[in-house]
Chains A and B, each alone.
Chain A
C-alpha cells in the first residue's frame, strides 16, 4: 500500500488539525488521528467523502443518544445539553469530521469531476 501523503495532503491535514483544535480543543485529537490515517491510505479527496459519511454516522448516534440520555425526565431545562456526555462526544466528533470533510474537499476541489464546471 502506497501512502498518499504529499505536500497538499500535509497542508490539508495541518488546516484540518488547526480547525479541529480550534473548535474542539483536546477532543479533536482522535478525529485528527483518524483523518490522518485515512488520508495516508486514501488521499484527501476520498478522505473528504469518508469524513462526511462518518460525520453522518456520528449524528445518527447523537440522535439516539439524545433520546436515551434523558436524565431529566422528559422536558428540557438549561442543563438539557450539559448532562449528555455521549451525545456531546459523538456530536462534537461529527462536527470535527464535518469540518475535516469540507476542508479536504476544498483542498481537493481540482480533482472533482463535476460536469460542466471547469476546474
Chain B
C-alpha cells in the first residue's frame, strides 16, 4: 500500500470518527475514558492510593456482601452496617473477578467516574446547546478535569455524586420533556438506587441543579407546564421510592452510626474556614486542601493550587470567561447556567468569613447547630456540581462565541487562536492530572501488603473457637512503615471477630466507649499487670494482636516500647510473632529504643485463661456501675471482675430493677468516669476534649452514650460559673489539648495554664468567665505560662526569652475595658471596686506567632473559688430525690466511690490535683483508701496528712505499701448530700470510699451453648437453676430481642456492654435472639429489587416501542 493510500485511509477514518462524534456517544466515551485512564494510571503508577475504604479495592467481594447485611458481628462487638453502595462496589468486584490488582481496580473506577462526569456534562449541554459540539466538549472537559475534580477526586465515593450529577440533571430534564417520560423516570430511579447511601448529604446537594433546571424549563424556557411537571413527579416519585427503599432503610436503621460520624468529624465552622468567594469561584475552598497537621500539609500534592501563580491565574480565567459570556451572549440558556454558577457559588461560600458571616452564612451556622440533621450539609463543597455546570458551560459558550466572532464571522485563524487558548487553559486547569499531583504521595501502598500480615490473619482465622482478637493500638487511619493504606487493613481480611478502638466506631456506642477505655488504659504509662485480662474475658477476647510496624510518630499513637509492661503481663502469653525482628519496626526517629529494634512487626498474645466462648450465662450478683468504660479498669483493680459478676451500667437501668438489685445487697460503684467530652477526628486518631460542663455543647454535638441526664461526669465551678475558650472550637484543627484548657488559668496553680496554639491568629483569642452570682472586683493579675517549661512561672524565671502574650485586653460585663501589659510575663491592673457578671480576656498581641499561655488569672477583691471540680454521675441520686423506695435502698446499699486523677497521655497531666464532687444518700460511714505516687509513697504506719481533704477537712492516712497504697486512719462520716474531695497534692492518684467489703456469695452453676448463629440471628441452649442473665456476645443495641421456649423475654439489658436477657430457671431452655432491623432491611431490599426490575422493564419496553 502506498503512503498516499495510507493517508487517504487515515483521512477517511478521521472523517468517519468526526461524523460519528456528531451523531453518537461512543467516540466521546472512548476519548474521555482513555484520557482519564491514562491520567489516573500515570499518577503514582502501580501504587494503591488511599481512597474511601481499603476493603473496597482489596476485597471487593466482601464489600458487596456486606451491602446486604445488617448486623456485622465481626467488627467491634457488632453494629449495623450502614453502607449500601451498589455502584461503588459491584463494578469493582467484577474487576476483581477478572483478576485486576487493587491499584488497577482503583484507577479503572476513578477513570470511570471522570468519564461519566465528562460525557454526562456533554450530554446535558447538548440538551440546551445542541448546535455546538465544541461547546459540549469544552464544558465536559472542564467539568471532568478542572480544578474541582483535581481536588475532590478522592475520596471517590463522594466524587461519585459529582460524576453522576450530569446524568441526574439530564434524567430530570427528560422526565418533563421527553416523549418517553416513563423511561426518564425509571432512569432517574435507577440512578438513585445506584449511588446508594455512600453520602446522603451529597445526594441532597445533587438535587440543587435538578431544581434549578426545572425552574428554568418552567419559568424561562416555558417548555414545561405545571401539569406536565406534576405528571413527571407522579411517575418519578413512586419509582424512586421503590428503588431507594433499601438505601433509605439502611440509612434510617443506621442513623445513629451516621450521627456518630457527624459529631466527631469537622464542624460547620471548620468546613467554612477557607471557602471564600475567591476560592469558591475557582472551584476550590475545600478546607482539607489547606489543612496542616503539625506544620505539614495534609494534602501536599494540592499546595500548588494555592501557590503557583500560573495555576491561580488560569483557575480565575475560566470564571472570568464565564462571566463575560453572561455579558456577551444573548442566548437564554445563559440564564440557566448563570443561575447554576451563582447559586452554586453562594452555597459553596457558606458561612465564610466566620468572623463576620453574611446573613445567609449566619443562618447556615444557626441551622447547622440548631436544626437536627442539618449539620450533615456542613461540607458545602458538595454542591460543586451546580457550580461546575455553570462555570464549565458558560466558559464553553464564551470560547465558542469568541471563536465565532460577532455576527458569526468565523475565520480559521481566529478559531485556531481561540481554540488553542481554550486548550491551554484546560490543560493548565487540569494540572493535577498530568503533573503527577493527583494523589497524595504520602498515603499510598506501593509494594503491596507484607506477607507477615496475611500470615498473621490466616493464623488467627485458623484458631479454633469464635472468640475475638483485640488489636493494639487502635487507629482510625493507618500508616505503616511499609505503606499508608489510609484505612485500616484488618477488616478486609480477618474473618474472626476483632475489636479495636476506632475514632469512627464500628460498634455501638457503649461497647465503643469500653474499647476506647481499653486502648487508653493499655497504653497508660502506669499500666498495672493483671488488670487487662479480666476486662477482655468479659467481651470474649482471647487474642491480643500488637502491631509494631506503625509510623507511630506520625499517627499520634503511643510507641511500641510503651507496651513493655503489658507484654510482660503474666495473664498474656506470647503465642506467635510474624515478620523478622526489626522488620518495619524501626523508623528514622530519634530515641528509637533497642527494644523496638528487636521487636517483630506483629506479636500475638493469648490470654492465659481465655474465655470459652462469646455468650455466657451467670446468676452471680451484679456490679452496678455509675460511669462508663474507663470505670472497668477501676472494677478490675478492685477485683470486682475476677469472678462472674456481670457489670451493669446504672444509668440505662430501669429504676425498679435497679432498686431491687440494691435491696438484694448488690454493690453500686460510683466512679468519676464517663466524662462529658467532645471528640474530634481530623487525622489518624481521635482526640477527646477536656471535661465539659453540664449542657456545654462546645459548638457541636457531644456524645452521650446513655442519653440520660446525670449519667456523665461533668466539670462544675463555684456558683455556676463557667470558663470557656471562645475560639476553642475553631482552633481544634490539630486536636484537643485538655491539659492546656482555659480553666487551668484559674486553678490557683502556676504550673498549669491555658495555652493558645497559632492555628488561628493569636490576637483575638479570648477566654470568657461567666459569673452568674456576680463578683466584686478591684483588680486583675495575670501570669504568663510557658508550655515548654511549666515550672517557669512558679520558679519566678524570666519570660523575656520565650514567646508570650504582649498585651491582654480585659473586658467586663459593665462595659469597662482595660489593657494589661504582659511583656515581662506578669501584669496587673487595679481599679475601683466594681461588680461584674462576666469577664473576657482577649489577646491583643503576641511577641511571636508561637504557642503562648496564661498560668494564672487572679481576680482580687473576691473570695470566689474558680477551680474546676469534676462532679460524678448521679442518675440514681437524681431518681432517688423523688423515689422514697430508692432512697431507702440507697441508704442501706453497699456503695463504693472510686476517684482517679486524670494524668493524661501528655507529659503535662490533665489534672494536677484531684477535685471531685459526689453525692450520698443518708448519713453513711465510709472507709477510705487510695494510692499515692512519687516520693510521698514511702510506707509508714504513722497517720499523716498527705493533702487529702474531704469537705474541707484533712483526712489522715497511713501509707501501707511500696506501691503508695494508703488507708484512712479512721472511718469518715458523711451526711446526706453533696461532698467535695480534694487532693491538694499532685501525688494523690486515686481514692476509694467504701461502705463495706462484703464478699458476694458463689453463684450457682449455669451453662450456655450457642447452637446457631447467622447474620442477625442467634440460638442458645441455656441451663440454669435460678434466674440468670444471658449475655449474648453482641454489643448492646436495644433492637435485639429474644424469646425463651417461644415466650418473649423483656427488652435487652446492657450487661458487660452487650445485649443480655434475664432468663428464668430451667434445666434446659432454648433461647433465640434476633436483630429486628434485619427483617425491615430485607423487606426494603426486596422492594428495591422489585423497583429495579420494574425500572429496567420500563426502559427496555420503552426502547422497543421507540423502535416500532
Contacts from A to B (Cβ < 8 Å): 21-25, 27, 48-50, 52-53, 55-56, 59-60, 62-63, 65-67, 74-82, 84, 87-88, 91-92, 94-95, 98-99, 101-102, 105-106, 109, 112-114, 117-119
Question: Bound complex: CA of A112 vs CA of B341, how far in Å?
Answer: 20
Are A75 and B303 interface neighbours, CB within 8 A? yes
Question: Bound complex: CA of A105 vs CA of B760, how far in Å?
Answer: 41
User: In this complex, which of A76, A80, A88, A105 has the most chain B Cβ atoms within 10 angstroms of its Cβ?
Assistant: A76
- Main DSSP-derived SS at the B contact region: helix
Nearest CB of chain B from residue A30's CB, rounded to whole Å: 15
| Complex interface: chain A residues within 8 A of B222 (CB) | 118-119
Nearest CB of chain A from residue B687's CB, rounded to whole Å: 17
Are A59 and B323 interface neighbours, CB within 8 A? yes
Are A95 and B352 interface neighbours, CB within 8 A? no
Residue of B nearest to A53 (CB): B327
B4 within 8 A of A: no
CB contact under 8 A between A79 and B332, given known A60-B316, A88-B278: no
Are B307 and A74 interface neighbours, CB within 8 A? yes
CB contact under 8 A between A62 and B281, given known A24-B358, A95-B345, A106-B339: yes
| Cβ-neighbour of A78 out of B287, B325, B332, B341 (below 8 A) | B287
| Cβ-neighbour of A75 out of B297, B328, B349 (below 8 A) | B297
Interface residues of B in 262-294 (CB under 8 A from A): 273-279, 281, 285, 287, 289-292
Are A56 and B335 interface neighbours, CB within 8 A? no
Q: Per-residue CB proximity of B334-357 to A under 8 Å, as 1/0?
A: 110011011001100100111111
29 A-B interface contacts by CB (under 8 A): A25-B357, A25-B358, A56-B323, A59-B316, A62-B278, A62-B316, A65-B278, A67-B309, A67-B313, A75-B306, A76-B307, A77-B290, A80-B306, A81-B273, A81-B275, A82-B274, A87-B278, A88-B277, A91-B276, A92-B277, A94-B281, A98-B326, A98-B338, A101-B338, A102-B326, A102-B335, A105-B334, A106-B220, A119-B222
Are A106 and B335 interface neighbours, CB within 8 A? yes
| Cβ-neighbour of A76 out of B297, B327, B352 (below 8 A) | B297
Question: Bound complex: CA of A55 vs CA of B285, how far in Å?
Answer: 19
CB contact under 8 A between A81 and B291, given known A60-B320, A118-B222: no
| Complex interface: chain A residues within 8 A of B374 (CB) | none
B759 within 8 A of A: yes
| Complex interface: chain B residues within 8 A of A25 (CB) | 356-359
Residue of A nearest to B760 (CB): A79
| Complex interface: chain B residues within 8 A of A106 (CB) | 219-220, 335, 339
CB contact under 8 A between A98 and B278, given known A59-B319, A62-B316, A78-B273: no
Are B297 and A101 interface neighbours, CB within 8 A? no
Residue of B nearest to A97 (CB): B323
Are B281 and A91 interface neighbours, CB within 8 A? yes
CB contact under 8 A between A23 and B358, given known A76-B289, A91-B281, A99-B346: yes
Are A101 and B312 interface neighbours, CB within 8 A? no
Are B316 and A55 interface neighbours, CB within 8 A? no
A sample of 11 more A-B contacts (CB under 8 A), given A76-B274, A81-B274, A106-B335, is A50-B327, A52-B324, A63-B312, A82-B274, A82-B355, A87-B276, A95-B345, A102-B338, A105-B326, A106-B220, A114-B331
CB contact under 8 A between A109 and B335, given known A23-B349, A59-B320, A66-B278: yes
Among all A-B residue pairs, the 9 with the closest Cβ atoms? A63-B316, A52-B326, A56-B323, A91-B278, A91-B277, A81-B276, A76-B306, A52-B327, A53-B327
CB contact under 8 A between A84 and B276, given known A76-B307, A99-B342, A106-B220: yes
Residue of B nearest to A113 (CB): B330
Nearest CB of chain B from residue A85's CB, rounded to whole Å: 10
Are A105 and B330 interface neighbours, CB within 8 A? no
Q: Per-residue CB proximity of B527-563 to A under 8 Å, as 1/0?
A: 0000000000000000000000000000000000000
| Complex interface: chain A residues within 8 A of B492 (CB) | none
Are A81 and B279 interface neighbours, CB within 8 A? yes
| Complex interface: chain B residues within 8 A of A101 (CB) | 323, 326-327, 338, 342
Are B733 and A66 interface neighbours, CB within 8 A? no
Q: Per-residue CB proximity of B923-944 to A under 8 Å, as 1/0?
A: 0000000000000000000000
Nearest CB of chain A from residue B913's CB, rounded to whole Å: 35
Question: Bound complex: CA of A95 vs CA of B277, how far in Å?
Answer: 7
CB contact under 8 A between A78 and B360, given known A95-B277, A113-B330: no
Q: Per-residue CB proximity of B558-598 to A under 8 Å, as 1/0?
A: 00000000000000000000000000000000000000000
B719 within 8 A of A: no
Contacts from B to A (Cβ < 8 Å): 219-222, 273-279, 281, 285, 287, 289-292, 297, 302-303, 305-307, 309, 312-313, 316-317, 319-321, 323-328, 330-332, 334-335, 338-339, 341-342, 345-346, 349, 352-360, 733, 759-761
* A-B pairs with beta carbons under 8 A, tally: 171
Question: Bound complex: CA of A60 vs CA of B358, how far in Å?
Answer: 23
User: In this complex, which of B325, B346, B356 has the most chain A Cβ atoms within 10 angstroms of its Cβ?
Assistant: B346
| Complex interface: chain A residues within 8 A of B326 (CB) | 48-49, 52, 55, 98, 101-102, 105
CB contact under 8 A between A95 and B220, given known A78-B759, A102-B335: no
| Complex interface: chain B residues within 8 A of A92 (CB) | 277
Question: Bound complex: CA of A21 vs CA of B363, how far in Å?
Answer: 13
Nearest CB of chain A from residue B109's CB, rounded to whole Å: 28
Question: Bound complex: CA of A102 vs CA of B345, how far in Å?
Answer: 13
| Complex interface: chain A residues within 8 A of B303 (CB) | 74-76
Question: Bound complex: CA of A68 vs CA of B453, how far in Å?
Answer: 51
Question: Bound complex: CA of A63 vs CA of B338, how far in Å?
Answer: 20
Are A66 and B332 interface neighbours, CB within 8 A? no
Are B327 and A21 interface neighbours, CB within 8 A? no
Nearest CB of chain B from residue A113's CB, rounded to whole Å: 6
Are B330 and A98 interface neighbours, CB within 8 A? no
Are B316 and A84 interface neighbours, CB within 8 A? no
Nearest CB of chain A from residue B399's CB, rounded to whole Å: 14
Question: Bound complex: CA of A16 vs CA of B712, how far in Å?
Answer: 50
CB contact under 8 A between A95 and B349, given known A79-B760, A88-B277, A117-B221: yes
Question: Bound complex: CA of A106 vs CA of B359, how far in Å?
Answer: 24
| Complex interface: chain A residues within 8 A of B290 (CB) | 76-78, 80-81
Are A67 and B312 interface neighbours, CB within 8 A? yes
Are B316 and A66 interface neighbours, CB within 8 A? yes
| Complex interface: chain B residues within 8 A of A113 (CB) | 330
Are B327 and A56 interface neighbours, CB within 8 A? yes
Question: Bound complex: CA of A104 vs CA of B338, how far in Å?
Answer: 11
| Complex interface: chain A residues within 8 A of B312 (CB) | 63, 66-67
| Complex interface: chain B residues within 8 A of A55 (CB) | 323, 326
Nearest CB of chain A from residue B365's CB, rounded to whole Å: 13
| Complex interface: chain A residues within 8 A of B219 (CB) | 106
Residue of B nearest to A64 (CB): B313
Question: Bound complex: CA of A88 vs CA of B281, how far in Å?
Answer: 11
Are A94 and B277 interface neighbours, CB within 8 A? yes
| Complex interface: chain B residues within 8 A of A88 (CB) | 276-278, 353
Question: Bound complex: CA of A55 vs CA of B338, how far in Å?
Answer: 12
| Complex interface: chain A residues within 8 A of B323 (CB) | 52-53, 55-56, 59, 94, 98, 101
Nearest CB of chain A from residue B325's CB, rounded to whole Å: 8
Question: Bound complex: CA of A62 vs CA of B346, how far in Å?
Answer: 17
Are B278 and A84 interface neighbours, CB within 8 A? yes
Question: Bound complex: CA of A9 vs CA of B274, how far in Å?
Answer: 36
Are A102 and B353 interface neighbours, CB within 8 A? no
Nearest CB of chain A from residue B295's CB, rounded to whole Å: 10
Question: Bound complex: CA of A80 vs CA of B279, how far in Å?
Answer: 10
| Cβ-neighbour of B360 out of A22, A48, A65, A79 (below 8 A) | A22
Question: Bound complex: CA of A6 vs CA of B519, how far in Å?
Answer: 71
CB contact under 8 A between A81 and B278, given known A59-B320, A102-B342: yes
Residue of B nearest to A109 (CB): B220
| Complex interface: chain A residues within 8 A of B302 (CB) | 76
Are A56 and B275 interface neighbours, CB within 8 A? no
CB contact under 8 A between A78 and B306, given known A25-B358, A25-B359, A63-B316: no
Residue of B nearest to A80 (CB): B290
Question: Bound complex: CA of A82 vs CA of B330, how far in Å?
Answer: 37
Question: Bound complex: CA of A80 vs CA of B302, how far in Å?
Answer: 13
CB contact under 8 A between A53 and B324, given known A76-B297, A88-B276, A106-B220: yes
